[in-house]
Structure 1
Amino acid sequence: MASPERGPTQRARVYEPQYFAQFAPRNALDMVSRIPGFTISGGNDGGQRGLGQADQNVLVNGERFSSKSDSVRDQLSRIPASDVVRIELVDGNTLDVPGLTGLVANVIYTSTGPSGQFQWNTGFRPHNTEAQLYGGEISLTGSEGALDFTISLSNENNRFGADGPITITGPDGELIEEQYSQFSGGFDNPKLTTAFTYDFGSETVGNLTLSYGEDFFFVDGTEDATSPGGPDRLQDNGRRENGPEYEIGADIEFPLGPGKLKLIGLERFERDNFSSFLVDTYADDTPAAGSRFNQTNGIGERIGRLEYGWNMLSADWQVSGEAAFNRLDRTSSLFVLEDTGEYVELDFPAGTGGVTEDRYEGSLSFSKQLSPTLSMQAIGAMEFSRIEQTGSAANSRSFQRPKGSLATTWKPADDFDISLTVERSVSQLSFGDFLASVSLDNDNENGGNNELVPFQSWGFEVEANKTLGPWGSLTLELEHDWFEDWIDWFPLDDGGEARGNVGDAERTKLQLTGTLNLDPLGISGARLDLRTAKRWMDTTDPFTGESRAISGAQYDFIDLDFRHDIPATDLAWGASLYSNNNVGYFRRYEEGREWEGPSFVSLFVEHKDVFGLTVQARAGNLLGARNKFYRTVYETSRPSDDVAFREAVDRRIGPIFRFSVSGDF
């Protein structure tokens, strides 16, 4: 484990606190986000398969984050900037944390006493939304003897909405219906998080993390529709989702024999209560028509993991074992509105049941500095799993799968390095895909599939990093993946469709990340950060047999951020541009695409000392990006020339205004 007392890691690129002084950072996140050419990536989350090897590119005092309810960004935001000793940008292969490759930011900090932080985020949109008033976080970090602690209370607060026309046309372009739609929604996630670290002495350290939160999500919409020769129609629709979630995690590391043993335990659970409704009423005597769908999910995960690391033959070794138990319990009910005005429940047995996966994994890793300029890391692992499903489509299956990686890094100069990683990996299934559900707004029923297996992949990644002295830095990444048992919409024998394994797929990504400092051009305190990527993809459509891109993936994106911290002042201003192009979806009876764009542009102004506070105002969506959706629905299964109708949606989002205040106490 790294410590503030020791010197920087050999050949590390070191950023001292004074480097970040012009940005007046409040916490470690503000500092890491300003490292030239570096982007935070990876980290444990609810979709990752167990804990596994580390994959995030940020460490704290040489240790990985192990929480799955908090992101890397969340945890960095609670480390006061005043406690940061330095940040090292190092080659992941040279660290004794298996799974890390490429450039890794190691935040070295020490607690200097009680310190509090807060940030209040607010904002509004002129159209279709409530004000966003209650976002932000307050946290307290400190020490008491051998105990370090962090207590945080946060709320992710978001409001959104759009309005605009919808046009439904027939096969030959004839108008079927015109609609004017409007929706408004919001999301809140209040959460209490605590983290405790206790130093028992003799290199024995324990950690305990606790978190509890609740989700509150809603969307309400209306559609006013007119059609040639038909009655006017008014539709009310909405969705609700809420429920509690908690996580308990603990670990302890202590010397044992020639190395150190680390024991990790984690328990997390989420209750998700979902409901949706859709009701059409007509201007004439036509009876109202509608549906209601309710679903309750209990989602849990329990993990036990051990890691034993030691040094032998001038190399770092680690053997690890992990047991993970995932579960989903679901009940679903579907109702239809009768002419009497009463809702009548329909039979929907495929939407109720449970799924469990018991998974065991063992691995051995080896990391070595082969020469002053060359390092390598090898990981070999095997996992064994058993998936069981209950309900109307009960099933049980067992699997064993090898996985692992080989990574090398060549660093011929302090300002240049290039790394190559080859990896075999196994994905995490979405248990909800095993059971049936419905989407009322698009009139789709999703069948269940009790034969699903996780997709597996072979992949390689080449990453080259070059610092440009006072000009900044550049990172170029090339990644290619071959997928087996890829998951997409899949035809069922009864004429329906479900998420299923559709065969092979490939994906290539080329990404450029860079920082250009404008000081050498005479614009002191200004910098331009760029991230852009292009993807090439190929898979076989299970309905048509034709080659196409991967559903829902990104073809390309560009993220451009300009910031100018005006010298000798506490003022900063800047602008950002984000634009992306995504692949549509392909189902049995329809294909379509939903996106927002074409581009989002924002401007901000910031004052870093308003009575000791940092205040920022931002105006977004200045180019008028819109909410768009189109689809073509067929009378028969694709491929088909028998079009039922086409739907085109073009809704206004409007400008977005944000205001934040942050400070210390």
Structure 2
Amino acid sequence: MKKSGFLTTVMLSALMLGNAYAGQDTTDDAAIVTYDQAYFEKFAPVTLLDMMQRIPGVQEIIDKNREQRQQAARGGGGAENQGGRGFGSGGDQILINGKRLAGKNNNIDDTLSRVSAGQVEKIELIRGAASGLDVQSQGLVINVVMQEGASSSTTFWKLTGNYYEGTSAFPPELLLSHSGSSGDLQYMVSAEVKNTRSFFTRSEEHFNAADLQTGDKFIDNRVITQTLTLNSNLSYDFGNGSELRLNGLYQPGLNNRLEDQNETGTQPLHTLWDTDSDTSKWEIGGDYSRNLGSLGRFKGLFVINNDTEDQAVLRDRNIGEAGEFRYAEESTKLDKSEKIFRGLVTKKITESQNLEVGGEAAINNFNKDFEDNRRSIATDPLTLNAGDNVKIKENRYEIFANHTYDISPVLVLQSSLTTEFSKIVAVSSSAAAPRDTSFTYIKPRVNLRYDVSGNDQLRLTVEKKVSQLDFNNFVTKFDQRTDQLVFGNTNIRPEQIWEFSAAFEHRFANDAGSVEAEVFYRDYTDHITIVDFTDYVNLSGQPITADEFFALPAADISAIRGSLNFTSKSGNIDGATSRGLKLKGNFRLGFFGLPQAVFSASYSYENGKELDQFTKEIVHFARISTHTFTFNFRHDITEWDFSYGFDGKSRSTFNVWERNYTWPWKLGFGYSIFAEKNILNGIKIRAEMKNEDNGTGLSTLTYYYDQRRFNDVLERTEKNHMRPKQFILSIQGTF
């Protein structure tokens, strides 16, 4: 069947489904669709996550929420992501009782699988701008309404085993969660033991500048990660609209990574890298809300947390030979903490207008030490090759006002103005002087929602975003992927973005699915990328720019080149832009006789462009694929208490570069297949196979002498990255 014919058939499937699968309720506000307990009864869900996965389009929100949080956790957040520090007005698009969870490490993603389905009253899908939400909508907000009143108690358990193809590992994992309520008190405590593994192999072919093969290398990498997570949530309703919620988390862990590299050819070498890390996280958070009568409603939130990591890396060469010796030792110590306090008052100023005003303070401390000791031969002592010690304190404050105006039953205008004040004090052993910098940013946002009909909605958004700095970019570190040092820069400025977007959504009647299209344009100021920090000079030793240096006669360049210390760091540039398109659809396949099957697909196109600071050519953003396609299928056979499905993700080639290399990647195709069955009342067994795309596929790493603008190739390496399939078997239940 042709592609257009297939899409037409799927559209007809959604349109003709009619009352065959009606189950959701539409409120007086056409932008809110409600799924109550009656809708989920036929699925016999065990957890809140089970319930949400039965709603068309929600799985994408869950996945996006998780990806944004993981990306923020790797650094300091970003202008386009959920922030890594502070709360802000954006964030999780999944709320419980209209509120976000007051936590960072203790987050909503983990909570979904710990809440019993029996505790949920209903789930609301809120499309577009709406008043009274704890976050600004990014298109679709999910609000979970919990049951109140009668006392209850439920214990959820889950036992998981993981097997990786070609290995003997089958590490078990266990989750226990007990939740309940007694009158106005609700509580949940949980303990989870995770025992994850990660395996990947890489085969390499090495070529010299003349394109002659000089050798091969095979890399075998194995990672063991073990964590214990103790988690608690407590809420108490004082009546009269006053409620207190508290949560806590403690998570110690360890990580061991062993990488064996065996190179043959003109320069044979067998090395072993052994990395051990001890980690610890703790967090306390909470929020309190109460009615203030004619003044409106007050809400206060706080989070206090701390993360530590102690990492040691041992590097040995000539493995298994008489000359085996340790050529390098590295150590990295990290200690970071955050204190967040946020308060706001919401007031309905007229029947059609709602105003929210408030402020937030976030105090962050980031301390990181890095030390790299090396030697060339076994008889030499290990001496300091590179080191850095960075201490950072960031105080961020913001005041904000959010105004929602229901112009008519079908037209809602939401506008906000946030002013951010921040001060960063950074002291680095590798910097000439301490940094003491203050920033002030004004961040407006306007979002217009127009309900063209009960099923059609148009959303227009204009927003100024400001990133949070990734403090890891302040510190020198060793990049194991490229076997070279990456120097820190304490003078990076936050990235600013003006974003313009327009989205149109059509929702099919009777829960038959939806289709959506969005276009966007982003204009960047102080875009963060890799920047040339080389101190160029002419023959007289006078400082000149890079462009002036490369404009010198070839003889002058040749005479000067050997004396230069070519250096690159993360830094800021202007002139970057990005534009793109997002398409997505969710379809219930009643036309094919499968009213309980849902197929979802999405496609995104992003064309981000910046000026390469080394070659002075316009290039695409690093690490971002121009094309991304995802799909998801789930079929619930309720009469058998059985479900199965699959999902997949494919991305086009993206590039990574530095001063002295380019590294284009074509990731492999990632997919997973699952089947699950309720074998007894409240007990479910699930089998799943995963083939991750992350870190797999083909790549070409090309090194250049000194700087890529010379175009002097040193060597080229063709890499084939592979991961074994993962098989997961789990059984879970409640009592």
TM-score relative to the length of structure 2? 0.84
Structure 1 residues 295 and 260: CA distance shift in structure 2, 3 A: same
Correspondence 1:463 to 2:494: no
- Once residues 320 and 727 of structure 2 are traced to their aligned partners in structure 1, the CA distance between those partners, rounded to angstroms, is 39
Asked if the contact 2:328/2:382 (under 8 Å) is kept, the reply is no
What SS is found at the alignment partner of 1:94? coil
* Offset, 1:347: 5.5
Q: Which region of structure 1 is more displaced relative to structure 2, 172-181 or 296-305? A: 172-181
What SS is found at the alignment partner of 2:493? coil
Q: Which region of structure 1 is more displaced relative to structure 2, 54-63 or 166-175? A: 54-63
Correspondence 1:163 to 2:201: yes
Moved over 6 A (4+): 282-287, 622-625
Correspondence 1:82 to 2:118: yes
In the alignment, what sits opposite 1:396? Answer: 436
Structure 1 residues 526 and 201: CA distance shift in structure 2, 3 A: closer
* Offset, 1:122: 1.7
Asked if the contact 1:28/1:77 (under 8 Å) is kept, the reply is yes
Letter of the 1:75 partner, please give it.
T
**Backbone CA RMSD of aligned residues:** 2.5
Structure 1 residues 82 and 9: CA distance shift in structure 2, 3 A: farther
**Mapping 1:90-101, distance limit 5 Å:** 90-97=126-133, 99-101=136-138
In the alignment, what sits opposite 1:302? Answer: 339
In the alignment, what sits opposite 1:172? Answer: 210
In the alignment, what sits opposite 1:476? Answer: 517
Structure 1 unaligned residues grouped into runs of 5+: 1-6
What SS is found at the alignment partner of 1:413? coil
What SS is found at the alignment partner of 1:362? strand
Asked if the contact 1:237/1:441 (under 8 Å) is kept, the reply is no
**Mapping 1:534-613, distance limit 5 Å:** 534-594=605-665, 596-597=667-668, 599-610=669-680, 612-613=682-683
Asked if the contact 2:529/2:570 (under 8 Å) is kept, the reply is yes
More helix by share: 2
Correspondence 1:107 to 2:144: yes
1:120 to 159, 165, 175: 159
Structure 1 residues 284 and 155: CA distance shift in structure 2, 3 A: closer
In the alignment, what sits opposite 1:143? Answer: 181
- Once residues 612 and 79 of structure 1 are traced to their aligned partners in structure 2, the CA distance between those partners, rounded to angstroms, is 13
* Offset, 1:589: 0.5
Asked if the contact 1:376/1:409 (under 8 Å) is kept, the reply is yes
Q: Which region of structure 1 is more displaced relative to structure 2, 640-649 or 11-20? A: 11-20
In the alignment, what sits opposite 2:684? Answer: 614
- Once residues 145 and 580 of structure 2 are traced to their aligned partners in structure 1, the CA distance between those partners, rounded to angstroms, is 32
- Once residues 665 and 332 of structure 2 are traced to their aligned partners in structure 1, the CA distance between those partners, rounded to angstroms, is 25
| CA deviation map 1:109-143 (0-9, x unaligned) | 21551112122222211225732322x52211111
What SS is found at the alignment partner of 1:127? coil
* Offset, 1:318: 0.9
- Once residues 287 and 94 of structure 1 are traced to their aligned partners in structure 2, the CA distance between those partners, rounded to angstroms, is 66
Asked if the contact 2:603/2:629 (under 8 Å) is kept, the reply is yes
* Offset, 1:92: 4.5
Letter of the 2:641 partner, please give it.
D
Correspondence 1:10 to 2:29: yes
In the alignment, what sits opposite 1:644? Answer: 714
User: Once the two structures are aligned, what percentage of the paired residues are identical?
Assistant: 23
* Offset, 1:626: 4.5
* Offset, 1:343: 5.0
Q: Which region of structure 1 is more displaced relative to structure 2, 399-408 or 254-263? A: 254-263
* Offset, 1:289: 6.3
In the alignment, what sits opposite 2:289? Answer: 253
Asked if the contact 2:390/2:474 (under 8 Å) is kept, the reply is no
* Offset, 1:297: 0.8
Asked if the contact 1:127/1:162 (under 8 Å) is kept, the reply is no
2:601 to 530, 533, 550: 530
1:236 to 272, 285, 300: 272
Which structure would you say has the larger RCO, counting Cα contacts within 8 Å and 6 or more residues apart?
Answer: 2
Correspondence 1:317 to 2:355: yes
In the alignment, what sits opposite 2:452? Answer: 412
In the alignment, what sits opposite 1:4? Answer: none
What SS is found at the alignment partner of 1:568? helix
2:41 to 3, 7, 21: 21
Structure 1 residues 362 and 203: CA distance shift in structure 2, 3 A: same
What SS is found at the alignment partner of 2:38? helix
Structure 1 residues 459 and 187: CA distance shift in structure 2, 3 A: same
What SS is found at the alignment partner of 2:452? strand
Asked if the contact 1:259/1:309 (under 8 Å) is kept, the reply is yes
What SS is found at the alignment partner of 2:129? helix
**Mapping 1:349-498, distance limit 5 Å:** 349=387, 351-392=388-429, 393=431, 394-469=434-509, 471-493=512-534, 494-498=565-569
Asked if the contact 1:258/1:311 (under 8 Å) is kept, the reply is no
Q: Which region of structure 1 is more displaced relative to structure 2, 601-610 or 268-277? A: 601-610
* Offset, 1:279: 2.1
* Offset, 1:572: 2.2
In the alignment, what sits opposite 1:3? Answer: none
What SS is found at the alignment partner of 1:584? strand
Number of paired residues? Answer: 655
Asked if the contact 1:206/1:253 (under 8 Å) is kept, the reply is yes
Q: Which region of structure 1 is more displaced relative to structure 2, 416-425 or 650-659? A: 650-659
Structure 2 unaligned residues grouped into runs of 5+: 1-25, 78-82, 535-564
- Once residues 231 and 694 of structure 2 are traced to their aligned partners in structure 1, the CA distance between those partners, rounded to angstroms, is 38
- Once residues 139 and 167 of structure 2 are traced to their aligned partners in structure 1, the CA distance between those partners, rounded to angstroms, is 44
Structure 1 residues 287 and 89: CA distance shift in structure 2, 3 A: closer
* Offset, 1:188: 3.0
Asked if the contact 2:314/2:326 (under 8 Å) is kept, the reply is no
- Once residues 51 and 249 of structure 2 are traced to their aligned partners in structure 1, the CA distance between those partners, rounded to angstroms, is 25
In the alignment, what sits opposite 2:314? Answer: 277
What SS is found at the alignment partner of 1:360? strand
Asked if the contact 1:278/1:440 (under 8 Å) is kept, the reply is no
Letter of the 1:402 partner, please give it.
I
- Once residues 9 and 298 of structure 1 are traced to their aligned partners in structure 2, the CA distance between those partners, rounded to angstroms, is 50
TM-score relative to the length of structure 1? 0.93
Asked if the contact 2:102/2:287 (under 8 Å) is kept, the reply is no
What SS is found at the alignment partner of 1:70? coil
Asked if the contact 2:328/2:375 (under 8 Å) is kept, the reply is yes
